[in-house]
Each structure stands twice: as C-alpha cells, then as structure tokens.
Amino acid sequence: MKREISFILAILMLFAFPLSAKAEEKKTIDAKSNILMNLDTGEVIKEHNAYEHLSPASVTKLMSILLILEAIDSGKIKLSDEVAATETAVSKGGSQIWLEIGEKMSVNDLFKAVVIASANDACTLLGEYIAGSDSAFVDMMNQRVKTLGLKNSHFENCTGLDDEITNHYSCAYDLAVIAKEIMKHKLILKYSTVWLDSLRNGKTELNNTNKLINKYNGMTGLKTGTTSNAGFCLCATATRDNISFVSVVLGAKTSDDRFDLTRQLLDYGFANYKIEEMKIDNSKIKSVRVKKGEIKKIKPKYSSNQKVLLPKNSNKITYKYKFKNEVQAPIKAGDTLGEVEVYSSNNKISTIPLKSDKNVKSVSFLYIFKKMINNI
C-alpha cells in the first residue's frame, strides 16, 4: 500500500512542476513601453513601444547623471568640491535629502544622494554648480540629447517632476542609449551598486530606490522613477560573464510590475545571448590605390576591440574582406575604403567599416614642382 501511494505522489509531482513552470512563462506584465538592449554593441534585442513619447519621471535623471559624470571626468568639477545649497535647489519637492539654504556638501555626497536616493534637491544643486543655473543645466541636457543623435526626448527640468510641465518626455530607446553612455564612466559603479549609505555623519540615511540591487545577480544600476503621470519606471543595467544589458520599463502599473518585467527582460538576454570579440586578420587588409593623390596607396584601418552579439547556440564566426579597387583624392580621415562582413551560420550579423586614418591631398602643380626640384 505504501509503495502504491509513493508511486501516485511521484506521478503527481511530475505533472505539477511543468504546469507551474508554464504558468510562470505565460505571465504577462502590463507596461506602456519597454526595451532590452545589449550594452556592448547597442543592439536592441526586444522592445515594446520603445519610441513612444512618455513621461520618464525620475529616470530623467539619467541625463543629469551623465552630465555630472562628464563634468567630473573632464575636471570641470571635483568630487571634493564643497557646494552651498541654493534657494532653487532647496525648493524642489519629491525625493530629497532636505538641504538647507547655505548648507555646504561635497560633490561626492550630493552625487551619492542623486544616484542612490534620487534626491531632487541634490540633483538641482549639482546642475546649478556645473552650468551656472538650473535652466542652463536643462539646456545642456537637451543639447546632449542632440549630440547623442536622439530624436524622442525633450527635458524641461533635471529631476523628472512632471506635475507642472507639459513638454517633458523621453522614450525607452533614448533612455537606454543614455544609460549605455553612462556605463562608459566606471565611476558610476561606486554609487549605483550601493544598497545602503548615509550622509551628514550617519544622520541622513540613503536607501537605494532600485530594489534589485541586492536581489538580482549582476545588477549594476541604475535609476527608478515614479509619478502619477508616468507610472512606475525603471532603467536597470546588469553584467554577467562579460556580457552586459540595459533594460528600460516605462509606465508599469505597480512597483512590483516594473521589477518583475525587468527581471524577465534581463533573464532573456542572459539566457539567449553571448558576446565575442571579433578577430580580424590584419594581414588580409589590403592597401587601396589612390588616384591623383600625393600618396599612391593607403591601408584602411578599423576600430580595435570590436564586439559582436551572438545567440548562445551560434556557430563559428567567419569574415569576408571587401575593399574599393581605387579611390580618388582628396581623401579625408574617416572616409570608408572597405568593410569586413561578419557571418555566423551563413547569416551576416555585422559589418565593420574600414576607414582612412589620414587626409590625402590631391596632386597640385606646386606639389609636382617641389617633386621635380627634389629630384634634380
């Protein structure tokens, strides 16, 4: 009898677990927009309404964070600089560290408050310190949007507070690109991976608003956002086994939904893709003839450390080298002279441009005359 009961239980367990797994796979989460992008190549893997104009709430601060990092890395400001709180910064509502007018705080602590706790007063103060005024910093944000080639973002403030503005928007794709740019600055990891910290000698506690920081393997950041207009938003970055992804979720109905959808997106990326460095054979790159130029041949160059995103089950990578037979001077540095096509399983997966690394002038009468004099 015991043996029969054990057998029945075993059969029930076999059927129960697959059904549970299927139910988990079918779970759908409602959000207005989302995207999964590979951070190494910028390739979009999955997206839903990724170019739709939406309020990004505090995910707006991605652009603020990028400009702050660029100001630090360029030496325009230093982490040790002390900044006095202004009336404009102190007047900001929402998440804050309750700065008082005239209170001095280091750039390091202010930036910590922005990245970890999404402090609006700290973000505004840093923007003023960099650009001279709050409005000038917002102008910098919109100018940076243009230099990144983004078409679907416009900011009216540096915080994402959207109760008194009408033309403040971004989209999942643009925010993913901004996050990709941020992650080029390794300093961000000093702040974005911190779960709990403090200011004012421990008197002010900072809790990371990204609840996946200590719960998701490989999580490296980056920014949450919530308003009644925007819903629940999250831009998350994660790295495992030398491959990195960024996901953006905008307009989720609940806080749990934004975190759950983020997990699903990142899990999909890590489960299905790998990153490999391209191994271009420099000996196969041929020189290109230059017609009517001051030099007769030029050898194309390519950017080093090129990477390619591949499905995990993909076959060996192969390369096809293509060159122009001849180009006519003048040639500018950066002009395309050929390309390397990258294939996997007979499918072209990438193209690497081969470019001139120098300017080549056209032959002039003066050039010919000088050559003749030198040969006498």
Catalytic annotation, residues: 58, 61, 118
155-182 burial by CB neighbour count: b if 16+ within 10 A, else e? bbbbbbbbeeeeebbbbbbbbbbbbbbb
Distance (Å, rounded) from C-alpha 223 to C-alpha 203?
A: 24
Amino acid (one-letter) located at 289 = R
With tokens 């029945």, the residue in question is: 8
Distance (Å, rounded) from C-alpha 243 to C-alpha 275?
A: 6
Report phi then psi at 99, rounded to 5.
-65, 145
Residue among 112, 109, 110, 35 at smallest CA distance from 266:
35
Contacts of 155 (CB under 8 A, 6+ apart): 60, 63, 138, 141, 142, 145, 168, 170
